[in-house]
Amino acid sequence: MNLPNKLTLTRVILIPFFLFFMYVKVPCHYLIALAIFAAASITDALDGKIARKNNLVTNFGKFLDPLADKVLVIAALTVFVELPEVNMGAIPLIIISAREFMVSGLRLLAANSGKVVAAGIWGKLKTAFTMVAIIAILLWLSLCGDFHIDFPEGFVSAVNDIITPILVWIATILTVVSGVIYLKGYWHLIDADK
């Protein structure tokens, strides 16, 4: 197994550990979850670059890399839905999940036609922003939940009720935009008139 595939597989392996530390209230559990998510995000940034630069692109990587990204992000957002501090609700999670299912379906149809649906600039922007937003939210949870920093009540309310939802909704909007671009580019594969 080459290095990019090992990095991708590492990202998959880190997901249960991330979930464990999000739910199990050991000391500094949010900080540990943040470190795990950040490490997983770094593997996402590295694996594709290394694979393309060194001509190490494999079918295993093409299959597992996007799947690992989707599971990592959806795992984090699903946990956030349960946390009152994040205040995001289930709607962004549903929208993001639906887009991921749609793109996966398009990739499958494209593969059956001998084509590869490469990640476009909007898909990369969506992934980067979403991961940065999740890291920012995890940092906030760590500051408040692990270190019990006594921020002014108005500031806490602003972060929980305004800033966090804005980050999540920007990620959701970027997800929808990139999904529409994928759909437009590969509509010919699902055109009901054909």
pTM attached to this predicted model: 0.92
| Close Cβ partners of 107 (under 8 Å, ≥ 6 residues apart) | 66, 117
Alpha-carbon distances, residue 176 vs 18, 59, 107 (angstroms): 26, 27, 17
Segment 111-125, tens digit of pLDDT? 777 777 777 899 889
Percent of the chain past pLDDT 90, that is, above it, reads 70
Nearest to 23 by CA among 14, 32, 12, 35: 32
Segment 145-171, tens digit of pLDDT? 999 999 999 999 999 999 999 999 999
Nearest to 50 by CA among 8, 14, 107, 104: 8
Taking residues 27-40, report their average pLDDT.
98
pLDDT over 90 at 66, yes or no: no
Taking residues 17-40, report their average pLDDT.
97
Other CB atoms within a 10 A radius of the CB of residue 33 amount to 24
CA distance 163 to 69: 24
Q: Are 134 and 73 in contact (CB under 8 A)?
A: yes
Residue 108 has a pLDDT of 81
Taking residues 20-49, report their average pLDDT.
95
Where in the chain are the domains?
3-189
Segment 170-187, tens digit of pLDDT? 999 999 999 999 889 888
Q: Which amino acid is at 18?
A: F
Tokens coding 138: 């995890």
Q: What is the CATH number of domain 3-189?
A: 1.20.120.1760
Residue 41 has a pLDDT of 95
b/e per residue 76-104 (b: at least 16 CB within 10 A)? bbebbbebeebbbeeebbebbbebbeebe
